[in-house]
Structures are given as C-alpha cells and as structure tokens.
Amino acid sequence: MKLAAEADGAVRGEAAVPGDKSCSHRALILGAMADGATRITGLLESEDVLATARAIASFGIAIDRDGDRAWTLRGGPWGSPPGPVDCGNSGTAARLLIGAIAGMEGRRATVTGDSSLRSRPMGRVTLPLERMGARFIGSDRLPLTVEGARLGGIAHRNEPPSAQVKSAILIAGLGTSAPVSVIEPVASRDHSEIMLGELGCDIMVDEGKAGRTITLGRSRKLQGCELAIGADPSSAAFPLLAAAIVPGSDVLVRGMLVNPLRTGFYEVLEEMGADIELTNERIVGGEILADVRIRHQALRACQVGAARIPAMVDEIPALAVACAFADGESLIEGLAELRVKESDRLGAIIAGLTACGVVAAVDGDSLRIFGRASVRGNASILTRGDHRIAMAFLVLGLAAQGPVEVDEAEMIGTSFPGFVDTMQRLGANIG
C-alpha cells in the first residue's frame, strides 16, 4: 500500500500516541516469567509486540486481553512451543526471547522472523550467552535453535551499547544464581532494569567513572504486579516532528515516556531552537512520564556526537528530517548501528533526502545534512520495508513544496498502528 503526504497548513491538537514498544515487549516477557498474575495497561498493540504475545502464548503462558484493553498474564514455568517462534519484524522480540529461553533448562525452541529480521545479526546476543553456558544450533542469523541450560555467570562489556543485548543477558541471568553483570561505558535504555526492580528482582545499578554497572542480586524471583506503560517517545517523535517543521503547528502528546535514556531526539530538537514544553511530570512504575508540547519555530543545524546516539537511536530518521529544514550544516556521528536495523537506515535516509532535493552525505558512520527552510519534496521514497523510514518521509512531505509518496506503508503497523489516523486528526494531509 502506497501513502502520500502533502503540505496543507499547520498540524494542531492532541496526538494519540500508543504505548512504548520497548516497555511492552519487556512487560510481556518478564510478566510471563513472574510468579502469579501481571496486569499490563497501555500495552502497545502493534505487530512487533503482538509477535511477542503470540510467542509467549506458544510457550503455554495464559494471556488475556479484557474490554479495557488491559492484558493479564499468568506467569510460571514455560513449556516448549509446538513449532518455530516467529518474531516477525522485531529485533527486540527475537533477542530478548533468545535470552529468556537460553536460561531455562530443558526448554528448546527455534526462533525465526521475516526476511528483514533473518538478515540481522544475532551473534551479539548468542556469543555472550554462550559464555554463560547457553547452547545454540545455528549461526549469526535466524533461524536459530536455543537449548535452554543451567547457566553460569558473566561480566559483559556492552559495546557497542545495545539495550537488547543487555536485556538478553539479564533475562537469561534470572535462572542462575551465578554473578551476572553488564558494564556500560555508554548507557543504553534501562527499561529492563527498571521493570525487573518493579517485579521484585534484586538488581543494582552503579554509576561509576567507567560507566554504569548493572548487577543481578541474590533474589532473582519475579512476582507478578500491575504495569502501566507510557506513550512511546519513538512514535511520538513523528507528530512532534511535524509540529517542529510545519509553520504554525502546535502538537501535544500526553503521558509520554521521558526516561532520559530515550529523550535524545527531543534534547537535540531543543538545541536546534524548537519550542518544547514539558508539563505534568510524574513517575509511573519507576518510569518518568510527562505531557510534551511542541510549537513550530525556525530550526538551526545541530552537531550530535556518537555518545549521544543510544538515547535517540530509533529517532535518527526523524532527526534527519528535522535537519533538512534547519538552517545550516548538521553533523550526526556514530551511526554504524543504523546499518543493521529493519533496513540499512543510513542508506535509506540518504537516498530519501536526496530524492527530496536535500543535500546530504554519509562519511563513514556520520551523516551530514545541509538544511534550508524550504525543501522541494516531489519524490517517491523507497522505504525498504522500514516503518520509521516511511513515517519520517511522510512527515517531511507535510512541510515540503511538493508531495512525498512512500512505496509501502503496511510496516508502520509494526510500531505505530493508527499513525495515519493520528496525523489526519491533527489536520495532516496524509492518505
């Protein structure tokens, strides 16, 4: 399905943004490993998260969704699934589930996914898990068979920073009493640490000179609880980007997760001159939520060093679009990881910006973008089956001189079902 976006005045109003994807995967997996019931509100009902829900159900865990869209899991010992566990398009589902199965003695499962996921590296999780004693049949790519085992300990240096790798190790470590720690010279998102604490796991985080060290403590038993998930800052980035680049716009997202390890995009936007207001900050389930409002204002170019990327790794397509409309030359460094996401995002960003008449270049793993207030657009974008590329270029189309079309839009449902509706309600001309 193709979609197109065209400038048609300001976007204004309250954007409905669904629950955070990272927290949703973790709530399902950790809830399924806990004793007793876990009730989850605000769960993201997107393709990626539903793949995790189906996977968990295939291990024999009871999952129900009630009329209020609350999900209840009855955690407990996992069985073995009747067939391959299909993680669809989701790297987080695959890598976290591999960690979970690896630490369950006697369980065996084959994990697979769609063609994009089958091309993404898995050695980053299987190698450290093998050092803990985990057993795999397969290579660096899915499908992989995981044979659960009684694991030993590990002290893993998380480089390059990856929350999926850290989480796989911590989740695998729940099944052992051996020492398990992850050392992060540069911090990655810490939702696993926070949620494990909420579920009663003994977990220590030490911020030292060498970075963060996360250590599992003696009591690693999880107890079911109530989990409430805030709006996803990676999805909110698109309506809020529209507010930042379309003259006259004013968009509000309520209850957004503003965990500082996720808000890099918003910090850079603010440095670029965006008018961002945070109100109603509160702590829910150990995570900080706030209402976030952006009003249009002219942007200037930015400089972003590599150490800041983990806090905005999924927002680089959105940031690149902001840079296209910002006055001057922007430089974003340390983007090697973008090559192994749902698509080669660095390649897709450059190709898309160039097609829209924006001067941009990749130099090693850095991105240079020469921005101006007026962008041509008038382009047809190859999304390479990547949801974030599709959404970023549709938003570009809302502020460009000519329309922007994307070749495939179905994949938007992996992270942001309702994106088109949400944008149309703000007055955006997307369809």
Ligand X SMILES: C=C(OP(=O)(O)O)C(=O)O
**Could you list the residues that contact ligand X (CB under 6 A)?**
90-92, 314, 341-342, 388, 415
The CB-nearest residue to ligand X is: 91
Burial 94-113 (b: 16+ CB within 10 A, else e): bbbbbbbbbbbeebebbbbb
Burial zone of 243 (CB within 10 Å; 0-12 exposed, 13-18 middle, 19+ buried): buried
We find the least distance from the C-beta atom of residue 410 to ligand S3P, in angstroms, to be 18
We find the least distance from the C-beta atom of residue 392 to ligand X, in angstroms, to be 11
Considering CB distances under 5 to 8 angstroms, the limit depending on partner class, which of ligand X, ligand S3P, none binds residue 342? ligand X
Whole-angstrom distance, CA of residue 144 vs CA of residue 425: 43
Q: Does 167 bind ligand S3P (CB under 6 A)?
A: yes
We find the least distance from the C-beta atom of residue 328 to ligand X, in angstroms, to be 27
We find the least distance from the C-beta atom of residue 21 to ligand X, in angstroms, to be 6
Q: Does 249 bind ligand S3P (CB under 6 A)?
A: no
Binders of ligand S3P among residues 177 to 216 (CB under 6 A) are 189
We find the least distance from the C-beta atom of residue 22 to ligand X, in angstroms, to be 8
Considering CB distances under 5 to 8 angstroms, the limit depending on partner class, which of ligand S3P, ligand X, none binds residue 162? ligand S3P
Does the annotation list 303 as a binding residue? Answer: no
Active site residue 421: no
User: How many other C-beta atoms can be found within 10 angstroms of the C-beta atom of residue 157?
Assistant: 12
Comparing CB distances to ligand S3P, the nearer of 167 and 249 is: 167
We find the least distance from the C-beta atom of residue 28 to ligand S3P, in angstroms, to be 12
Comparing CB distances to ligand S3P, the nearer of 168 and 242 is: 168
Comparing CB distances to ligand X, the nearer of 166 and 341 is: 341
Long-range CB contacts for residues 372-375, cutoff 8 Å, separation at least 24: 372/325, 372/327, 373/298, 373/325, 373/327, 374/401, 375/324, 375/325, 375/399, 375/400, 375/401
Does the annotation list 26 as a binding residue? Answer: yes
Q: Does 92 bind ligand S3P (CB under 6 A)?
A: yes
Q: Does 162 bind ligand S3P (CB under 6 A)?
A: yes
Considering CB distances under 5 to 8 angstroms, the limit depending on partner class, which of ligand X, ligand S3P, none binds residue 99? none
Whole-angstrom distance, CA of residue 122 vs CA of residue 110: 13
Does the annotation list 220 as a binding residue? Answer: no
Interface with ligand S3P by CB under 6 A: which range of 134-142, 156-164, 343-351, 396-404? 156-164
User: Catalytic pick from 48, 190, 291, 314?
Assistant: 314
Q: Does 314 bind ligand S3P (CB under 6 A)?
A: yes
Comparing CB distances to ligand X, the nearer of 89 and 176 is: 89
Q: Does 22 bind ligand S3P (CB under 6 A)?
A: yes
Binders of ligand S3P among residues 262 to 281 (CB under 6 A) are none
Q: Does 163 bind ligand S3P (CB under 6 A)?
A: yes
User: What is the edge-to-edge ordering of all strands in the sheet holding 85-86?
Assistant: 85-86, 108-112, 144-147, 135-137
Whole-angstrom distance, CA of residue 192 vs CA of residue 287: 11
Comparing CB distances to ligand S3P, the nearer of 26 and 296 is: 26
Does the annotation list 372 as a binding residue? Answer: no
- Considering only 164, 259, 330, 414, the residue that binds ligand S3P (CB under 6 A) is 164
Q: Which residues are known binding-site members for 3-phosphoshikimate?
A: 21-22, 26, 162, 164, 314, 341
Q: Which residues are known binding-site members for phosphoenolpyruvate?
A: 21, 91, 120, 164, 345, 388
Catalytically active residues are 314
Binding site for ligand S3P (CB under 6 A): 22, 92, 162-164, 167, 189, 313-314, 337
Q: Which residues are known binding-site members?
A: 21-22, 26, 91, 120, 162, 164, 314, 341, 345, 388
